[in-house]
Amino acid sequence: MMRKFLNALVVVMVLSTACSFGQEYDLKKDVILKDKVPYAKISGKMGLLKAANLMVSSLNGDSLMAIKAWVYPSKNPVFDFLNGYEIRFVASGKVVIKPSPTGLTKEQLLNFIFSGKDYTSKKWDITFKHSLIENNRIDPAAETAFIEQFD
């Protein structure tokens, strides 16, 4: 009886992890890994007390997108909760502001931008299924889809 339970538990665990994987982004020494394969580079600083000011570059070193912390421009305290990240695509000059708490780690921020994972709702589903970077450049179709989805 216990053996059947353990076997069933293992099967459920394997299936749930297989379903939850999609595009997973990790960070290792300022190299963004997509499914454990080098995808792009990131430079700049961010931390709990330092607002995000990051640049995502291709593996060749070409600038692809700038990411900066964004705060709603108002001195009215009613709007203090309105903040997020400004994502500027370098080649096209297009800008998207994604609302989010600005207390994310770099890895969470990358998954928030590239996968659309929402760390505030506790639903960490992948909502953006396109690959923004293809062949060391921003894919125009994915950029358009990104802007349509998040703007």
Check residue 12 and give its pLDDT: 39
Q: pLDDT digits over 24-72, tens only?
A: 788 888 899 888 899 999 999 887 777 889 999 999 999 999 999 888 8
* Residue pointed to by tokens 């499914």: 35
Lowest mean pLDDT among 6-20, 30-44, 51-65, 121-135: 6-20
Whether the full predicted model's pTM is greater than 0.85, yes or no, is no
Please provide the DSSP assignment of 73-127 as one string.
S---GGGTT-EEEEEEETTT--EEEEE--S---HHHHHHHHHT--BTTTTB----
CA proximity to 33, closest of 111, 144, 104: 111
Q: Helix, strand or coil for residue 122?
A: coil
Terminal C-alpha separation, the chain: 53
**What pLDDT, on the 0 to 100 scale, is given for residue 125?**
62
Specify the residue for token string 């659309």: 116
pLDDT at residue number 61 = 93
